[in-house]
Structure 1
């Protein structure tokens, strides 16, 4: 008998690695596009259980379409991708779980392509039709390079792409594909966060101005600017209050971020229980 997954009551109940800072960046950029009268479809390559797709759906305007492409519980098309799926996602990733999570917050499902993201290279996503593309599928260099090409074709002139895991130690293939796109493929960096690279093949300066219109520091973030081979790029991160907090929280947070969702939730429950026990005063005489 297959256990029924509980329906999420809030977005944080959906397992995944889509964290607060990037949720804020996605929302700000998508809202700014809408406020500026920019329209277009939204595309997500790699959706897992729907945590980011739900947010993308929040920002759809009338006539716009969200398309998500993921293997879900299908078989991978090559041995390397199959090994990655088996190691990280196979036990939890199903299309039915994604659909249930998405429908907990939206009345209609997005367009779903249950297949390797490489199938989108066939032109089924019209050229220049999207204003925002989120790439978070395979971590293999060849696949990510192909996904970036799909994003470039799909995006309208000043559309934005968000690329996940561009700097994680365990995803060097993503890093290689992202920076290759910058140095040889015309991708202009806009924003870097601990997890995602944001860029455009259009007006990067305008996108940075859009980001700087928000007082991120007042919301608990740091804002810095770097130059990479002549490209200006913003960096957003979480503010850290004290050195003691860095020593206590950073390794633990990083470790939790890198765990699969099931292990992350179990670890957080244990940590919460330990904190609660420390908060209870000892019984006299115990």
Structure 2
């Protein structure tokens, strides 16, 4: 098995090692470490600004991302905060405080992202475009299509969109929404796939602007060389990396 990648942020490393699994949620620690490192890569490439998570729930993944921000940057946590009960917002706020994300580092937004206009989201981000958006909202084709449209409209130059629960057996139609989106938005391409850790901690797709693909991919090949599955992913005709804890190829005898 490949080792867990380093996130590149001491605070994120500490949280991932002793805190991540204590916060209720379903996102994998492997994916969180990779996404925290992607935020560091953006900083290294001169990409800065706020980030957002659609579907913050109790804050497990959100806290990891927030720890990977630079001073002065903020994280937006968006959720209807009604499932499984209205107290979920209180738990989100308490987890953020417990694990070191101060109120001035974040903005909590109660509402349906699918009903939000880009100008409204950007206003929450102090008028700045978002450099990283994690989409983990309602798992339906219609909702994902709306979230993708909002993310695209608010994304900064060099920004990344990360889609959760891709290829999950419980949500097989989400891939249809993604394929429709990619065909309608040729300026956006998959940068990499983050393989599942378990059936619960499922696959994520990372999308970037086409003009940034080669630049980011060159860095990923070095940063994640121990986590690269050799065959990659074929999006017909686009090809991208697959990052996995299990990088073996099938033995053919």
Counterpart of 1:121 in structure 2 is 117
Distance 2:119 2:224 in 1: 39
Residue 196 of structure 2 is aligned to residue 188 of structure 1: no
Counterpart of 1:24 in structure 2 is 33
How far apart are 1:227 and its partner, in Å?
3.1
Equivalences for 1:29-40 in 2 at 5 Å? 29-40=38-49
As a proportion of its length, which structure holds more helix?
1
Counterpart of 1:95 in structure 2 is 89
Instruction: Give the TM-score, by structure 1 length.
Output: 0.70
Number of aligned residue pairs? 218
Counterpart of 1:105 in structure 2 is 99
Equivalent pair of 2:66/2:101 in contact (CA under 8 Å): no
Partner SS state of residue 165, structure 1: strand
1:6-56 deviations in Å (ceiling 9; x for gaps)? xxx622201111213211210221111112222111011001110111011
Equivalent pair of 1:22/1:193 in contact (CA under 8 Å): yes
Instruction: Give the TM-score, by structure 2 length.
Output: 0.78
- RMSD (Å) for aligned C-alpha atoms: 2.4
Distance 1:51 1:150 in 2: 23
1:98-130 deviations in Å (ceiling 9; x for gaps)? 111111122423211111112332521238711
Please point out which of 54, 62, 68 is paired with 2:77: 68
1:93/1:52 CA distance change after superposition, 3 Å: farther
Instruction: Give the structure, 1 or 2, with the largest relative contact order (CA under 8 Å, sep 6 or more).
Output: 2
**More displaced stretch, 139-148 vs 123-132:** 123-132
How far apart are 1:173 and its partner, in Å?
3.2
Distance 2:242 2:66 in 1: 26
1:207/1:93 CA distance change after superposition, 3 Å: farther
For structure 2, list consecutive stretches of 5 or more residues without a partner in the other structure: 1-17, 196-202
Equivalent pair of 2:23/2:60 in contact (CA under 8 Å): yes
